[in-house]
Amino acid sequence: MASPLRFICGFRTISASRQLHLYPRSRRSFIAAAAAATGGLGLNHVFGESQDLSALSLRQASELLHSKGISPVDLTKACLKRIENYNSSLNAFITVTGDQALETARQMEAEQTQGKWRGPLHGIPIALKDNIDTAGVRTTAASGLFKDRVPLEDAEVVGKLKQAGAVFLGKLNLHEFAYGGTSDTSYFGPVHNPWALDRISGGSSGGSAVATAADLCFASLGTDTGGSIRIPSSYCGVVGFKPTYGRVSLRGVIPLSWSLDHAGPICRTVEDVAIVLTAIAGYDEFDPATVNVPVPDYTRDLNRSTASLRLGIPRTPFFKRLDPEVGNAVQAAIEVLRKLTRSVIDIKLPPIPPFLPISATEAYAYHAKWIVESPEKYQPFTRDRIIAVAAGTTASGYAEALRKTNLARRDIHESIFRRGSAHHAHYASHSGDLGPEQGLRQARRVSRSDGHSQHLSFRSLRPAIHYGSMWLLDYGSTDRPPDQRSLLRGVNSSGVSTLL
């Protein structure tokens, strides 16, 4: 057998053959290069070859659980061990609920012994971004303001995951109140990129991406308003998915912007994302943004042919400020998808309305009371941003931005969906990447919004329209709203798993 490849931070040692199975080519080549030049950036400890259960994909772990080859307690202990070994360097977790996790794991093991199987998340250890409420466990939003805040009720997504049998390992670090793209502004300290500890993880769901990339959990939940799932997923080389607005309930999630927030999964494979999305999606009568429509099994179509899909590329404005290395990665992804789809076409998008008046106004509305009463409990950058950005926004500007956003959603539907149902595959924050190598190049600098993109999401079952570098266009009927299955199917078939 070939010599095992090692992560740059020493997170795991896996045989070369297995590495080829689990990850796209860009990640494998990056790992191979990094193994020869770690240069002291990472951690020293590695587990034995293929011995660490936490290196399994969620699907692989679930199948072993179902066949009783391993137990939920085995998986939970493996993750808790990794957290113990590595979290002090990564700072991905704010709160670790080890005892509760083991108690739940034993319960899931007992249920399985009794013949009860809740589904593919039964006994799977996962973790939650710390702006998602958990009853009896503090939810801080990475802020000193909420450092002792303990909710009385679970967020809706937490309740759904509990029903699915998931085991909660704890709460994950983030950019304070999800108001930034680096995750280096936190009351609990900055999150570190698992591929190079001196670089940012991206944000705001930095802890979620890092914990997933470093095998501290099998999946995590993040939130996304202007890229906060997609940016850290790109920087850390994992799969992040921003669902359609209204597809996943936001009840019990500390808001940044009520009109633009989303909750979604971060996993190591597209299939794992589909599993988690199936569990958390659905109507919530107490969340007026959710849509009362059936939830499909998003894994069911992953292996269907992608030959009928068209690939649409909105080159303007996304290719104007492209780093050459990132541009090459995007083009490589296009060539992979070109071979798997019916055709490649350029798409011209309607003008993009500004979203800052919406997010700034709604963020200030949520924080106004505490900004006045306890400004010292915020990190200075967050406090100053909440005040300064909102100060430049008027009531008429907010109303006009909402109107223009709704018009833009309509225009996109008319100009693109009517010509063939569109499914969007988003590259990172504003440009793109195929894996950690390009992600780390972006992580060297603070992410800045190009003002073009992150916020247009349909209030329906149409896929999330928060412009990115590529769209997948389905030749299906234009009389029905497209769902997200074609997107997941296309990206899963490509093997380029950090596109979303």
Instruction: Give 44-71 pLDDT, tens digit per residue.
Output: 333 233 358 999 999 999 999 999 999 9
Under the banding of pLDDT at 50, 70 and 90, the label for residue 353 is confident
Under the banding of pLDDT at 50, 70 and 90, the label for residue 312 is confident
Q: Tell me, what's the pLDDT at 282?
A: 97
Separation of alpha carbons 312 and 332, rounded Å: 15
Segments making up each domain of the chain, as ranges: 1-50, 51-280, 309-355+389-494
Under the banding of pLDDT at 50, 70 and 90, the label for residue 439 is very low
Q: Tell me, what's the pLDDT at 417?
A: 62
Task: Choose the weakest-confidence range: 98-102, 142-146, 304-308, 474-478.
Answer: 474-478
Task: Assess whether pLDDT exceeds 70 at residue 33.
Answer: no
Task: Assess whether pLDDT exceeds 50 at residue 480.
Answer: no
**What residues contact residue 409 under an 8 Å CB cut-off, 6+ apart?**
456, 457, 458, 459, 465
Query: Which residue, among 470, 427, 486, has the nearest Cα to 311 in the 3D structure?
Result: 470
The model carries a pTM of 0.82
CA 170 and chain centroid, separation: 17
Q: Tell me, what's the pLDDT at 348?
A: 82
Separation of alpha carbons 10 and 23, rounded Å: 17
Q: Tell me, what's the pLDDT at 350?
A: 78
- For the stretch 186-195, pLDDT in tens is 999 999 999 9
Task: Choose the weakest-confidence range: 213-222, 320-329, 433-442, 485-494.
Answer: 433-442
Q: Tell me, what's the pLDDT at 51?
A: 53
Q: Tell me, what's the pLDDT at 489?
A: 65
Under the banding of pLDDT at 50, 70 and 90, the label for residue 412 is confident
Q: Tell me, what's the pLDDT at 297?
A: 95
- For the stretch 100-149, pLDDT in tens is 999 999 999 999 999 999 999 999 999 999 999 999 999 999 999 999 99
Could you identify the residue written with the tokens 């899909």? Answer: 309
Which pair of tokens denotes residue 105?
């794991």
Q: What is the mean pLDDT of residues 373-402?
A: 94
Q: Which value, to the nearest 10 degrees, does the dihedral of the CA atoms of residues 135, 140, 141, 143 take?
A: 170
Contact 151, 118 (CB under 8 A): no
Q: What is the mean pLDDT of residues 433-446?
A: 42
* Averaged pLDDT score across all residues of the chain: 80
Among 280-289, 387-396, 482-491, the range of highest mean pLDDT:
280-289
Q: In the chain, pLDDT over 90 holds for what percent of residues?
A: 62
Q: Tell me, what's the pLDDT at 176?
A: 98
Query: Which residue, among 475, 401, 460, 463, has the nearest Cα to 426 in the 3D structure?
Result: 463
What DSSP element (H or E) covers 14? Answer: strand 13-14
Separation of alpha carbons 137 and 95, rounded Å: 8
Alpha-carbon distance values, 413 to 224, 226, 403, 469, 476 (Å): 22, 21, 16, 18, 15
Query: Bigger pLDDT: 462 or 380?
Result: 380
Q: What is the mean pLDDT of residues 277-300?
A: 95
Contact 276, 160 (CB under 8 A): no
Separation of alpha carbons 201 and 228, rounded Å: 11
Which pair of tokens denotes residue 391?
């100060």
Task: Assess whether pLDDT exceeds 50 at residue 220.
Answer: yes
Query: Which residue, among 106, 345, 94, 92, has the nearest Cα to 214 in the 3D structure?
Result: 92
Into which CATH architecture does domain 51-280 fall? Alpha-Beta Complex (3.90)
Under the banding of pLDDT at 50, 70 and 90, the label for residue 303 is confident
Query: Bigger pLDDT: 372 or 7?
Result: 372
- For the stretch 224-281, pLDDT in tens is 999 999 999 999 999 999 999 999 999 999 999 999 999 999 999 999 999 999 999 9
Q: Tell me, what's the pLDDT at 495?
A: 56
Q: Tell me, what's the pLDDT at 46?
A: 30
Q: Tell me, what's the pLDDT at 165?
A: 98
**What residues contact residue 487 under an 8 Å CB cut-off, 6+ apart?**
423, 424, 425, 463, 472, 500
Contact 344, 334 (CB under 8 A): yes
Q: What is the mean pLDDT of residues 288-310?
A: 92
Q: Is the peptide bond before 234 cis (omega within 30 degrees of 0)?
A: no
Active site residues: 129, 204, 228
Alpha-carbon distance values, 61 to 71, 72, 88, 118, 271 (Å): 9, 9, 26, 14, 13
